[in-house]
Amino acid sequence: MFSYQAVKNRPELLLAMTSLTQPEFEALLVTFQQVWDAYVYQAYHHRPGRERRPGGGQLASTLVSIEDKLLFILYYLKAYPLQEILAFEFDMAQSTANEWIHLLTPILQETLDRGGFLPERDPGQADTALDLTRDLQYGIDGTERRRQRPSDPEMQHECYSGKKKTHTVKNLLIGGLGSRTVSYLSETHEGRIHDKALADHEAIRYSEDIDLYQDAGFQGYVPPGVHIRQATKKPKGKDLSSDQQAENTLLSRIRIGIEHIIAGIKRCRIVKDVFRNTKTCFDDVVMELACGLHNFRVYHRYS
């Protein structure tokens, strides 16, 4: 049976299971404990009309310690095992594992939110988030995630990505190229939508006079007050000049930072592997959590 006491003195194993080092795990645990205690008080002790004493049932006999609760949800996001395997590893029924997943997910979400690690989700408030980052250079990019084939024919059509040749969902990301953090995360959309069309749909509000690095998928996307930095496209039947090639190389070296941010987010395999959970909007929640955990790691390792 997996437990925090069994893995805390094995740093490589803890990192592989959670993407966090022991000091990072302990730092996150402090706020996680506070959020859990507030939830327990509200849900069990302070609920009007409650007659039974709190405790008991399948949940009370599993994941007894707060450390094991945090280990459980981080391991699920990082490794993304089948729920049957997850239940076996933590010595519980599959239905209990499913209940714990959906109970602890909002607890972790609130924990990261209290620490200021979650990205901005409101496009009208994106400029405020960018100002807080205090970067002058940002990268924008879309990222697709595979999902199971929808049963609804219309949804199949909307989720089918010609680029990935499979069914996907897509998010738009804006990250600080200096801070290495995610400043803005769009809503989750069907994978068929094009990057520029998604950016136009979001109508993101930017800080003025920032440099925004983007790839060819955003050709023609020029929000007001922003300096667009994009590689020059090779003209049909012609070659780029040596100066244009050198400029493109420089732009690519800077813009690669947003790709590194996306790679950091996808350390959580739940947003890298084929997404299997069918709960409404859960694909959006886990992407937000993966971004929050990435920002948390960057804060503790590079600030």
281 sits in the region (left: phi over 0; alpha: psi -120 to 50; else beta) called left
DSSP state string for the chain: ---HHHHTT-HHHHHHHHS--HHHHHHHHHHHHHHHHHHHIIIIIS-TT--SPS--HHHHTSS-SHHHHHHHHHHHHHH---HHHHHHHTTS-HHHHHHHHHHHHHHHHHHHHHTT-SPB--GGGHHHHHHHHT-SEEEEEEEEEEBPPPSSHHHHHHHEETTTTEEEEEEEEEEETTT--EEEEPPPEETTS-HHHHHHHHT----TTEEEE--GGGTT---TTEEEE-PPPPPTT----HHHHHHHHHHHHHHHHHHHHHHHHTTSGGGTSPB---STTHHHHHHHHHHHHHHHHHHHHH-
One domain for residues 143 and 238: yes
Considering 114, 141, 163, which residue would you say is the last residue of a domain? 114
One domain for residues 274 and 133: yes
- Confidence (pTM): 0.93
One domain for residues 211 and 239: yes
| Residue 300 maps to a domain | no
One domain for residues 23 and 99: yes
pLDDT digits (tens, 9 = 90+) for 81-105: 999 999 999 999 999 999 999 999 9
Q: Which two tokens stand for residue 247?
A: 């400029």
* C-alpha–C-alpha distance, residues 96 and 100, integer Å: 6
Domains contained in the chain, number = 2
Q: Which two tokens stand for residue 302?
A: 């590079």
One domain for residues 131 and 168: yes
Query: CB–CB of 300/110 below 8 Å?
Result: no
pLDDT digits (tens, 9 = 90+) for 135-168: 889 999 999 999 999 999 999 999 999 988 999 9
Its domain, for residue 66, covers: 4-114
One domain for residues 146 and 262: yes
Q: Which two tokens stand for residue 163?
A: 């680029």
pLDDT, greater one: 110 or 237? 110
Contacts of 92-96 with C-beta under 8 Å, sequence gap 24+, read 92/58, 92/62, 92/63, 93/58, 95/58, 96/58, 96/59, 96/62
One domain for residues 104 and 161: no
One domain for residues 144 and 277: yes
Residue 84: Cβ within 10 Å count = 11
| Residue 297 maps to a domain | no
pLDDT digits (tens, 9 = 90+) for 108-124: 999 999 999 999 999 99
| Residue 154 maps to a domain | yes
Share of the chain above pLDDT 90, in %: 85
| Residue 31 maps to a domain | yes
| Residue 303 maps to a domain | no
HEC sequence for 258-276 = HHHHHHHHCCCHHHCCCEC
One domain for residues 70 and 53: yes
CB-neighbour burial class of residue 240 (10 A; exposed 0-12, middle 13-18, buried 19+): middle
Confidence band for 56, pLDDT divided at 50, 70 and 90? low
Mean pLDDT of 130-136: 89
What is the distance of C-alpha 210 from the center of its chain? 24
135 sits in the region (left: phi over 0; alpha: psi -120 to 50; else beta) called beta
| Residue 233 maps to a domain | yes
Which pLDDT score, from 0 to 100, does residue 48 have? 62
One domain for residues 105 and 143: no
| Residue 299 maps to a domain | no
Sign of CA dihedral 284, 182, 14, 6: negative
pLDDT digits (tens, 9 = 90+) for 189-204: 999 999 999 999 999 9
Phi, psi of 241 (to 5 degrees): -70, 165
Which pLDDT score, from 0 to 100, does residue 45 have? 65
Which pLDDT score, from 0 to 100, does residue 143 have? 96
